[in-house]
Amino acid sequence: MSHQSTIKRITAPEIAARKGGEPIVVLTSYHAQSAALVDPHVDILMVGDSLGMVMHGLETTVPVPLDLMIAHAQAVVRGSERALVVVDMPFGSYEESPAMAFRNAARVMKETGCGAVKLEGGVQMAETIAFLTARGIPVMAHIGMTPQAVNQLGGFAARGRRQAEWARFEKDAQAVAEAGAFAMVIEAVAEGLAARITQEVPIPTIGIGASPECDGQVLVLEDMLGLSPRVPKFVKEYAELRTAVEGAVKAYARDVRARAFPAEEHTYSTLEEVPEALKRFKMSVS
DSSP string for 38-62: HGGG-SEEEE-TTHHHHTT--SSST
d(CA 30, CA 220): 10
Concatenating the DSSP letter of every residue in 142-172 gives EEES-GGGHHHHTSS--B--SGGGHHHHHHH
Q: Provide the whole-model pTM.
A: 0.91
Residues flagged as binding site: 49-50, 88, 118, 120
Active-site amino acid positions: 187
Residues 6+ apart with CB under 8 A from 223: 231, 232, 235, 237
How many angstroms separate the CA atoms of 111 and 75, rounded? 11
The domains of the chain are located at 12-239, 244-278
Superfamily for the 12-239 domain = Phosphoenolpyruvate-binding domains (3.20.20.60)
Alpha carbon dihedral 193, 47, 96, 172, in 10-degree steps, equals -10
Per-residue pLDDT for the chain (286 aa), expressed as one digit of tens each? 445 567 899 999 999 999 999 999 999 999 999 999 999 999 999 999 999 999 999 999 999 999 999 999 999 999 999 999 999 999 999 999 999 999 999 999 999 999 999 999 999 999 999 999 999 999 999 999 999 999 988 878 888 899 999 999 999 999 999 999 999 999 999 999 999 999 999 999 999 999 999 999 999 999 999 999 999 999 999 999 999 999 999 999 999 999 999 999 999 988 876 666 666 666 666 6
How many CB atoms lie under 10 A from the CB of residue 19? 17
Binding residues for 3-methyl-2-oxobutanoate: 49-50, 88, 118
The pLDDT value recorded for residue 281 is 62
- The number of beta carbons lying within 10 Å of the beta carbon of residue 96 is 11
pLDDT on residue 1: 47
